[in-house]
Structure 1
Amino acid sequence: MNIWARIAGWAALIFGLLYFILPLAGLFEFSLRARRGVYSFDAYAKVLADPEFQATFGYSVLMALVTIVVGVLIVVPTAFWVRLKMPWARPYVEFITLLPLVIPAIVIVFGYIRLYNTSSWLPLTGSVMGTNFLLAMGYTVLALPYMYRAVDTGLRTIDVGTLTEAAQVLGAGWISILGRVILPNVVPAVLSGAFLTFAIVIGEFTLAALLDRPAFGPYLQRIGANKPYEPFALSVIAFGITWACMGLIQLVTRFSKHTKAAR
């Protein structure tokens, strides 16, 4: 019975791997056909040398970093305070952080446009800085479920109450407790949320397109409508970035476990 269960498990694993790997392999193989008759990386070279690719990818990376910083500043204090002083509010906070998974991004961005257009009380869409701010806030909302759960999981692994009391006995204030005691102990969890946030921002299309921002997602859509091979090369690059983020999460998690075991 154990042998058959093991065989069934391996069969399911192999089927799952083939289900994901074969389409990616076909995508990668087609992206190499830019030069007739031979395989080449011409499509990748054209994409990487495209000034618009460099500008849009750089913009999305910058917005991802801003989103990560804003998310950490919002989520870490909130999760810390809920766990320390308001455990009764945890179900409500979790419900609120799950809303971005239920509410489509197009609803969020139309709400932003309706509330902050040039004829509203706060015309943020009338300037580049204001629109960038709205985009960063939108990205923060989309990444909120992943960042909050990563940080909350990290807080579960430490004794928040004891650490806080010890820091207060030594005369530390709340900002010092958060920045010098709590945050260093949940760095692996914060990094996991940061990598997920980065992957989300790099591939996001709806918010950037409707707010008319020069991000990587709209660029990928535009080039897909006009070029034959470059879109497939871009898709492979985007998949590579996403999988790299997932691999970094695994490395950070494994390193954290080894560090705790060594202690």
Structure 2
Amino acid sequence: MKTSRFWAWLVFAVGAAYFFIPLIATFEFSLRMRRGEYSFDAYRVVLGDSRFQETFGYSVTVAVFTILLGVFLVVPTAYWIRLRMPHLRPIVEFITLLPLVIPAIVIVFGYIRMYGSNSPLPFLGSARGTDALLVIGYATLALPYMYRAVDTGLRTIDVRTLTEAAQILGAGWATIIARVILPNVLIAVLSGAFLTFAIVIGEFTLASLLNRPAFGPYLQNIGANRAYEPAALAVIAFAITWGCMSVIQILARFAPKSANRPN
């Protein structure tokens, strides 16, 4: 027992060191902008940069629309699959896994070819059309995480009984999804939403090739031209991502227990 615990703690320590030492070194380097002493000058420069504010604000806005689109698509689909078409579940799960194996660069080149200026649907000819394609592309990249989060939430509730009770009270399908199903899987939806937010904030390929002023290309551009600011941005991006993950863990504590009979 003591030997197994020793090796378990040793593996944990090695993994923690592999993870935290580069992070600590990056943070320490970001404080060296002022020669001979530590300071937060790099963070002040980054946070005061108008391009940082514009790109981060743009990415946050795109993330909100991406989350709304993902919820609008995934919640009704996962609910209907679980209620009426469980035999299609393996097919839907396979489809939702495709964004993990299809590179984002393939998706964006497909957009350029199908929606360029010479196509019947020239979405890329306007900024709003390009923004719409970017939101759809991000929703596609986040689909595996959003779908599994919602599907896990649906497993914890009795979907059929809730649906039948709502129908007895005269509720339509839209009311059932919006006022019965969605509130019961809200924690799962929020978990998928925070994962989607983290993906959108750090994504580079789609935004860069579609020439949108997003946070990912800004990170890459700063990293190619400056020294201390990229380290500060890396720490900020890490804090945002892990902040989202921490919120997911906190929300998971309030998730409905599986004591309810699953459908």
The two structures have a TM-score, normalised by structure 2, of 0.97
Distance 1:109 1:259 in 2: 40
4+ residue runs of structure 1 moved beyond 4 angstroms? 257-261
2:182 match? 183
Task: Give the drift of 1:7.
Answer: 1.4
**Residues 1:12 and 2:42 aligned together:** no
> Does structure 1 conserve the Cα–Cα contact (< 8 Å) formed by 2:105 and 2:205?
yes
Task: Give the drift of 1:68.
Answer: 0.2
Structure 1 residues 112-261: aligned runs within 5 Å: 112-256=111-255
Q: Percent identity?
A: 68
User: Which deviates further from its counterpart, 88-97 or 224-233?
Assistant: 224-233
1:69 match? 68
Distance 1:220 1:156 in 2: 39
Distance 1:81 1:259 in 2: 20
2:105 match? 106
Structure 2 gap ranges (5+): none
Task: Give the drift of 1:258.
Answer: 7.9
Distance 1:40 1:224 in 2: 20
Q: CA RMSD in A?
A: 1.3
Distance 2:161 2:254 in 1: 24
Distance 1:250 1:9 in 2: 23
> Does structure 1 conserve the Cα–Cα contact (< 8 Å) formed by 2:202 and 2:216?
yes
SS at match of 2:167: helix
> Does structure 1 conserve the Cα–Cα contact (< 8 Å) formed by 2:156 and 2:258?
no
Q: Residues 30-63 of structure 1, C-alpha deviation per residue, up to 9 Å, x if partnerless? A: 0000000000000000000000000000000000
Task: Give the drift of 1:260.
Answer: 8.0
Structure 1 residues 84-95: aligned runs within 5 Å: 84-95=83-94
2:48 match? 49
Distance 2:50 2:24 in 1: 28
When residues 136 and 93 of structure 1 are mapped into structure 2, their CA distance, relative to the original with a 3 A threshold, is same
Q: Residues 160-190 of structure 1, C-alpha deviation per residue, up to 9 Å, x if partnerless? A: 0000000000100000000000000000100
**Residues 1:37 and 2:33 aligned together:** no
Distance 1:217 1:260 in 2: 42
The two structures have a TM-score, normalised by structure 1, of 0.97
User: Which deviates further from its counterpart, 206-215 or 3-12?
Assistant: 3-12
When residues 95 and 259 of structure 1 are mapped into structure 2, their CA distance, relative to the original with a 3 A threshold, is closer
Report the number of matched residues. Answer: 260
Task: Give the drift of 1:256.
Answer: 2.2
Distance 2:259 2:134 in 1: 38
Distance 2:141 2:255 in 1: 26
> Does structure 1 conserve the Cα–Cα contact (< 8 Å) formed by 2:42 and 2:228?
yes
Distance 1:131 1:226 in 2: 27
When residues 154 and 258 of structure 1 are mapped into structure 2, their CA distance, relative to the original with a 3 A threshold, is closer
Distance 2:84 2:256 in 1: 28
SS at match of 1:256: coil
Letter in 2 for 1:53: F
SS at match of 2:59: helix
Task: Give the drift of 1:255.
Answer: 2.3
